[in-house]
Structure 1
Amino acid sequence: MKPQAIHSVRLVFAGMLCACFAAAGCDTVAPVDEAQVVVEGFLNSGQPLQPVFVHRTLSPRQPYDAAQAAVSDAAVEMRLGDKLVRYTPDPGQSGRYLPEGNGAGVAAAGDVFSFSAVWRDAVVEANGVVPPEIEILAVSFEIPEEPVSAVLLDSLALSDTLATGAYTGYIYPIEATIEWAAPEAGFFQEESWVRAQLQPFTTFSSPIVDLFLRSDEVFREQTQEISAERKTWTGVYAVSVPEEGDPLPEHGLRVSLVRSGPDYARFAASRDDPDQREPVSGVQGGIGIFAAVSVDSVHVQVDRTGGAFPSPQ
């Protein structure tokens, strides 16, 4: 479903940018008055080149100011295969850099890239290989007949007091299995990592429950089972219901896969790590990420009778 892949990258892109801004506002190991460069950019396999964002950290002793954090005078360029691509500041948005030709170039699978952003004395660099394109071939579901009792935590009620916001509710733990084509033998296999995500569109949202499920995972692609040249991954997400006997409500589910090299995998896996003050940086000489990925996503409607992709004809 490649038309959805571009939209998926934008969603991931926005999430990563927020993570970097959060890191920029933190007291890092560097002196608080020494600015570090924060870079955010992606190459999406088979897609036109996208903008790159360059910002700098600010002192935590001052209120965060996005305009002040934006860097608009950096020298940004990338060598992609045998081509040199220069990025120029976007006059309509500070800190945003556009590739030459308005993204007319395409990141092709197997292209080697070398990226750099130079600002004052800082030189931020990243390099890697554009991965093969990934495509979701099928999604299937295992839905229990009845909901199960679960102790839920209301994160809005958590405080420094003994109050936990805990209450007993009911959830349907739903297994979703994703199938996709394995990369060609000998190409990118040892370097290939995949991030799989299940994102239900429901009113229920509990990060605490999600910790005990498996709705978002980063793993080495070669470790996954393969059958008929297809890889599979099974995750679990939850949908809550008010009462024990209530049926599963119909809901939408966004299923996405991101294939990448190890730099993006480390960055993505560390974003929600409670032991990390900020994500593991995917660049040298600064903070943030510049990486090549391939993204695909599908939207599936799920109800008590199940759901499937592709939809039965």
Structure 2
Amino acid sequence: MPLSSPQNADAAAGLSSSGQSGGTTVPFLLVAGLLIVGLLVSGCDMTTLDEPVPVVVEAFVETDQPPPPVRVRAVQSLRSNAPDGISDAEVRLTIGGRAVAYRPDASEAGRYVPTGSADTVRSGTRFNLEVSHADGVARGQGRTPPRIRLDSVVTTVPDAPVEAVSVDSLRRDSLDIPATTNFIYPIEVEVYWTAPPADSHWVRTALRPENQPFSPRIVDFFIQPEAVFLESSRAVSDSNAVVRRWSGVYAIPVETSTDALPTHRLLVLAVRGDADYASFTAERDDPDRREPPSNVTGALGIVTGVAVDSITVAIP
């Protein structure tokens, strides 16, 4: 399968609602740099709060990219539709000991952008974020991990679709779990990359087929389009200790058992981060939780360094 070089792509991987990855918009969570993703409800696991904190902080700093926008918003009820952007906060981001000035973005309430141009952020850079608002100060700090670069991607496409059962993962506490039967092409993907010398990081991988969104509410049995794991656990062999490999499977639905596989493009995403990032991304979609873990003081959110790379391939 011919590969394209890493390029800008919509990545949903994971890290925040929006961000930049080498010019790439990453809807979840994503890229060699800093991620601070705010939450929508009060409470957290990694940081115990003595009282409710009314502010959510969201930002994303990427290695080899300029400083990112920072979002500050109010904590709201899940049922609230009121605007939540906070536009009177003071945002101070310090990267490698150098302060970056921010100003409110007139086009979006609660969004703050750097006041001018700044140097790109390198891997291994320490950072501090401080957001002052009417109810206090939110702080987070961390260090960007080594950049990650995908070496190759190998895909295996079946000759025909298979019958699959889908269930609603949010109804797992019910004795009457809705289930449907359809046909899918389960496509296996092997991803290879090289680990850094200090291999103590975590990695999140994700498969994102273009125009074929995978609903987090529907779980297809035996389908694994995403994973979070300790990077050292994915060595190819004892004799090749620096190469890492992950195998995932995503599904393309079709109407009948005789339909051909639709031609599409697949975004393969890999994110390197620390244990806080791994905990956040692994638990944020858990239906038994009201919010992901948090490690921000004085607010809700998570501050963690990450590194991301992506490759887009044509299927079949």
Please indicate, yes or no, whether the TM-score normalized by the shorter chain is above 0.5: yes
The equivalent residue for 2:161 is 147
Query: Structure 2 residue aligned with 1:284, among 290, 294, 297?
Result: 297
Query: Structure 1 residue aligned with 2:226, among 191, 194, 216?
Result: 216
Whether contact under 8 Å (1:42, 1:293) holds in the other structure is no
**Pairwise CA distance, 1:139:** 0.6
The equivalent residue for 1:65 is 82
**Pairwise CA distance, 1:43:** 1.2
Identity of aligned residues (%): 37
Query: Structure 2 residue aligned with 1:200, among 209, 212, 218?
Result: 209
Instruction: Tell me whether 1:101 sits opposite 2:116 in the alignment.
Output: yes
Query: Structure 1 residue aligned with 2:133, among 119, 124, 146?
Result: 119
**Pairwise CA distance, 1:113:** 1.1
3-state DSSP of counterpart to 1:179: strand
Q: C-alpha offsets along residues 107-151 of structure 1, whole Å, 9 cap, x if unaligned?
A: 111111121112134221111111111111111012233322222
The equivalent residue for 1:260 is 273
> TM-score, with normalisation over the residues of structure 1?
0.79
* 2:137 aligned partner, one-letter code: V
3-state DSSP of counterpart to 2:102: strand
The equivalent residue for 2:260 is 247
Whether contact under 8 Å (1:131, 1:292) holds in the other structure is yes
Q: Note closer, same or farther for the CA distance 1:257–1:124 as it changes in structure 2 (3 Å cut).
A: same
Distance (whole Å) between structure 1 residues aligned to residue 220 and residue 120 of structure 2: 36
* 1:12 aligned partner, one-letter code: F
Distance (whole Å) between structure 2 residues aligned to residue 128 and residue 203 of structure 1: 35
Q: Note closer, same or farther for the CA distance 1:108–1:76 as it changes in structure 2 (3 Å cut).
A: same
Query: Structure 1 residue aligned with 2:54, among 13, 30, 36?
Result: 36
Whether contact under 8 Å (1:138, 1:179) holds in the other structure is yes
Q: C-alpha offsets along residues 53-98 of structure 1, whole Å, 9 cap, x if unaligned?
A: 01111356x73212xx211222211221121223222233221111
Distance (whole Å) between structure 2 residues aligned to residue 115 and residue 206 of structure 1: 33
* 1:77 aligned partner, one-letter code: R
**Pairwise CA distance, 1:205:** 4.3
Distance (whole Å) between structure 1 residues aligned to residue 293 and residue 315 of structure 2: 35
The Cα RMSD (Å) is 3.2
Query: Structure 2 residue aligned with 1:179, among 192, 195, 208?
Result: 192
Whether contact under 8 Å (1:75, 1:117) holds in the other structure is yes
Whether contact under 8 Å (1:78, 1:85) holds in the other structure is yes
* 1:152 aligned partner, one-letter code: S
The equivalent residue for 2:12 is none
Whether contact under 8 Å (2:126, 2:141) holds in the other structure is yes
Task: Determine which structure has more spread, i.e. the larger CA radius of gyration.
Answer: 1
Whether contact under 8 Å (1:27, 1:59) holds in the other structure is no
**Pairwise CA distance, 1:248:** 2.6
Whether contact under 8 Å (1:204, 1:240) holds in the other structure is no
Higher helix share: 1
3-state DSSP of counterpart to 1:101: coil
**Pairwise CA distance, 1:238:** 1.1
Which one is further off, 207-216 or 92-101? 207-216
The equivalent residue for 1:82 is 97
Q: Note closer, same or farther for the CA distance 1:276–1:59 as it changes in structure 2 (3 Å cut).
A: closer
Distance (whole Å) between structure 2 residues aligned to residue 244 and residue 36 of structure 1: 52
3-state DSSP of counterpart to 1:229: strand
Query: Structure 2 residue aligned with 1:11, among 27, 45, 50?
Result: 27
**Pairwise CA distance, 1:294:** 1.7
**Pairwise CA distance, 1:220:** 1.6
> TM-score, with normalisation over the residues of structure 2?
0.78
Q: Note closer, same or farther for the CA distance 1:204–1:95 as it changes in structure 2 (3 Å cut).
A: closer
Whether contact under 8 Å (1:177, 1:234) holds in the other structure is yes
Q: Note closer, same or farther for the CA distance 1:3–1:140 as it changes in structure 2 (3 Å cut).
A: closer
Whether contact under 8 Å (1:267, 1:282) holds in the other structure is no
Return 5+ residue gaps in structure 1 as ranges. Answer: 304-313
Query: Structure 2 residue aligned with 1:91, among 102, 106, 119?
Result: 106
Aligned residues: 286
Whether contact under 8 Å (1:9, 1:44) holds in the other structure is no
Distance (whole Å) between structure 1 residues aligned to residue 282 and residue 116 of structure 2: 34
Distance (whole Å) between structure 1 residues aligned to residue 24 and residue 287 of structure 2: 26
